[in-house]
Amino acid sequence: MDTYNAIIGRRSIRRFEDISVPSDVLEKCVNAGRLSPSAANKQPLKFISITRKLKEVFRYTNWAGYLDWEPDESEMPRAYIGILKKEGYGWDIDAGIAAQSICLTAWNEGVGSCILGSIDREKLQEILPFPSDFKLIYLVALGFPAENPEVVESENVVEYHHEDDVLKVPKRPLDKVWIKW
């Protein structure tokens, strides 16, 4: 898969098969996060791979706020990578860039992902073992896809819907976002 096709073909996956994510895929994802760009190369991030207490972690996530749909526990993520940033150090965007690196690395291995920013950080901090001077910025949910969402060209960015059980993801058309000068 070339980089461009990986970037345009990746979709957020929120329904997963009941298959574990191989540990070598998790390692590749964390390594991709580690080697991602960071402001002034400060590398303020740590990564926690999570393959236990999955139901508990799932409880403290918030799925697809725009969709009139509740995820089924049987289709929950089979792993997560938590992206942690040292308090008061580096830039938050470093975590976002690392998150995209993780998602694209997973996608290239046939593993679906979803970046989760709407999470109960306080509760998750109680469950997950990580240094107290680090803050959880994002979780990236991972698993083999049990859905195949499709892009629809639309200016209405909240127009998510299921059609024949396929999630349609609105994206603003190219000519609406590209200012040629």
Ligand X SMILES: Cc1cc2nc3c(=O)[nH]c(=O)nc-3n(C[C@H](O)[C@H](O)[C@H](O)COP(=O)(O)O)c2cc1C
Spell out, one character per residue from 53 to 92, where the chain touches ligand X: x when CB under 6 A holds, - when not: ---------xxx----------------------------
Q: Which of 115, 135, 147, 154 binds ligand X (CB under 6 A)?
A: 115
**Of 10-18, 27-35, 43-51, 77-85, which segment contacts ligand X by CB under 6 A?**
10-18
Using CA atoms, how far apart are residues 111 and 156, in angstroms rounded to an integer? 29
Q: Is 117 in the site for ligand X (CB under 6 A)?
A: yes
User: Which among 164, 166, 138, 154 has a CA at the least distance from the CA of 14?
Assistant: 166
Using CA atoms, how far apart are residues 181 and 122, in angstroms rounded to an integer? 46
Q: Which of 45, 111, 114, 128 binds ligand X (CB under 6 A)?
A: 114
Q: Give me the least distance between CB of 5 and ligand X, in Å please.
A: 14
User: Which among 54, 74, 51, 70 has a CA at the least distance from the CA of 62?
Assistant: 70
Nearer to ligand X among residue 25 and residue 140 (C-beta)? 140
**Residues 57-82 as b or e (16 or more Cβ within 10 Å = b):** bbebbebeeeeeeebeeebbbbbbbb
Spell out, one character per residue from 154 to 173, where the chain touches ligand X: x when CB under 6 A holds, - when not: ---------------x----
Using CA atoms, how far apart are residues 143 and 162, in angstroms rounded to an integer? 20
Q: Is 116 in the site for ligand X (CB under 6 A)?
A: yes
Q: Is 11 in the site for ligand X (CB under 6 A)?
A: yes
Structure tokens at 64: 């697809």
Q: What is the β-pairing status of strands 79-86 and 45-50?
A: antiparallel
**Of 7-15, 27-35, 48-56, 80-88, which segment contacts ligand X by CB under 6 A?**
7-15
- Residue 120 pairs in a beta bridge with none
Q: Is 148 in the site for ligand X (CB under 6 A)?
A: no
Binding site for ligand X (CB under 6 A): 11-12, 14, 62-64, 114-118, 149, 169
